[in-house]
Amino acid sequence: MPAPVTDSDAPADRVATSDPTGLHRVLDTSDGRRVLPQAAQRLDTRRELWPDEVRVRVETLNLDAASFRQLEGTHCVDGRHDGDAVRREVLEIVAERGKMQNPVTGSGGMLIGTVEEVGPESPLGLEVGDHIATLVSLSLTPLVIEDRLERWDGRSEQVPADGYAILFGRSIAARIPDDLEPGLSLAVMDVCGAPALTARLVQQYDAPVVAVIGGAGKSGSLSLAAARREGASRTVGVVPHEAEATLLRDAGLADDVVVADARDAIALRDAVESTGGLADITVVCVDVPGCEGGAILATAERGTVIFFSMATSFSAAALGAEGVAADVTMLVGNGYTPGHAAYAMQLLRESDGVRRLFERRL
């Protein structure tokens, strides 16, 4: 266990050695249990590095969709979004918690920045000056904002910011390719867990039918591309309205494109079934609550539902499946699969359709 590089301001009663999970920066001490940074109320944001850490100069924060939607909804009067109030709340959260974790959704996002200092024992293979995206959630990343987010109007998920963030021994970061616009790289890396896990699942079935709820979105379009690439016999993209259906049809990523409100369980089931039968694998990529029942009903017996939406309710999924006697496997969409960033970048480079959908959103 390495000793800290600088411990001049380390409280005497706290751990002085680092843990690859970042445990040494958790400040919660109320009940004596050791929680991980993601579950912590508050993180230690000191600039000084433990030997296995990396400090990153922040350039852009990318709030996750569920979190931003929640913040926007809270600060909305008469249908008008109050961007200043959203910005103030983000600043307050970061100041209070030492990380950007939406207290309601529990989610965070990710960031782009430049490596500022690398601890002598960091296993991440980064060098000072590297331009990177972090692939661990902001909800567990020590973060200090130094510019009051003055360049952000509080109206988009991408937040220009100056400040610093800390990566742990077991964090994940990826170098941003030189040939792609940084915003595009960030957008791809933000959701790269979805296509990687979809790909793994498709390989476990024999030419499955794959339905992606929210197929025209970022994680959705990549998941559709992954499904086709790994041998899906048929891919179905479900979108909420005709405008998105046109976009997805033009992108050419799905064999069938259908319109349905994913929160209407019966409508979703019927829409998927109408394409030639239920799905073997259903991937939920829409960040609105209440899609669990429909996703389960749209999935064939012994099929699998992968929930990538942070708006998923655990109990709604568990009890929803039981409630209709559905023998489906339900996966919590793990944002990490080895090689996920490179795989997603490859999908983007191979597919003009994916690229067009992403560039539209920048």
Question: CA–CA separation, 217 vs 225, rounded Å?
Answer: 12
Stretch that binds a copy of itself, among 54-62, 221-229, 257-265, 275-283 (CB under 8 A): 257-265
Nearer to a copy of itself, 82 or 264 (CB): 264
Residue 17 near a copy of itself by CB under 8 A: no
Stretch that binds a copy of itself, among 78-86, 170-178, 232-240, 349-357 (CB under 8 A): 170-178
Helix-strand-coil split of the chain, %, nearest 5: 35, 20, 45
Residue 299 near a copy of itself by CB under 8 A: no
Q: Which helix (H) or strand (E) holds 342?
A: helix 340-350
Residue 221 near a copy of itself by CB under 8 A: no
Question: Which positions ≥6 away from 59 have C-beta within 8 Å?
Answer: 111, 112, 113, 114, 160, 161, 162, 182
Structure tokens at 29: 């001490």
Question: CA–CA separation, 106 vs 310, rounded Å?
Answer: 9
Write the interaction track for a copy of itself spanning residues 184-203; mark x where CB under 8 A is met and - where it is not: ---------x----------
Residue 329 near a copy of itself by CB under 8 A: yes
Secondary structure (DSSP) of 243-274: HHHHHHHHHT--SEEEE--TTSHHHHHHHHHT
Residue 312 near a copy of itself by CB under 8 A: yes
DSSP state of 176: P
- Beta bridge partner(s), residue 238: 213, 258
Question: CA–CA separation, 171 vs 20, rounded Å?
Answer: 8
Vertex 138, ends 119 and 160: CA angle to 5°?
Answer: 95
Residues 106-145 that bind a copy of itself (CB under 8 A): 106-108, 135-137, 139-140
Residue 1 near a copy of itself by CB under 8 A: no
Residue 10 near a copy of itself by CB under 8 A: no
- Beta bridge partner(s), residue 54: 118, 167
Task: Output the smallest distance, CB 359 to a copy of itself, in A.
Answer: 26
| Euclidean distance between the first and the last CA atom of the chain, given in angstroms as a whole number | 43
Stretch that binds a copy of itself, among 18-26, 81-89, 215-223, 279-287 (CB under 8 A): 18-26
Residue 27 near a copy of itself by CB under 8 A: no
DSSP state of 61: E
Task: Output the smallest distance, CB 263 to a copy of itself, in A.
Answer: 5
Helix intervals (H) in 17-138: 65-74, 83-97
Stretch that binds a copy of itself, among 74-82, 180-188, 226-234, 331-339 (CB under 8 A): 331-339
Residue 170 near a copy of itself by CB under 8 A: yes
Stretch that binds a copy of itself, among 17-25, 46-54, 112-120, 217-225 (CB under 8 A): 17-25
Residue 327 near a copy of itself by CB under 8 A: yes
Closest by Cα among 293, 270, 295 to 284: 295
Nearer to a copy of itself, 169 or 353 (CB): 169
What are the backbone angles phi and psi of residue 323, rounded to the nearest 5°?
Answer: -65, -25
Residues 32-71 that bind a copy of itself (CB under 8 A): 33-39
Task: Output the smallest distance, CB 311 to a copy of itself, in A.
Answer: 9
Residue 30 near a copy of itself by CB under 8 A: no
In sign, the C-alpha dihedral spanning 355, 359, 361, 362 is positive
When binding is defined by CB under 8 A, the residue of 105, 198, 223, 275 that contacts a copy of itself is 105
- Beta bridge partner(s), residue 299: 279
Nearer to a copy of itself, 299 or 351 (CB): 299
Residues in touch with a copy of itself (CB under 8 A): 19-23, 33-39, 105-108, 135-137, 139-140, 170-172, 193, 261, 263-267, 290, 292-293, 297, 307, 310, 312-338
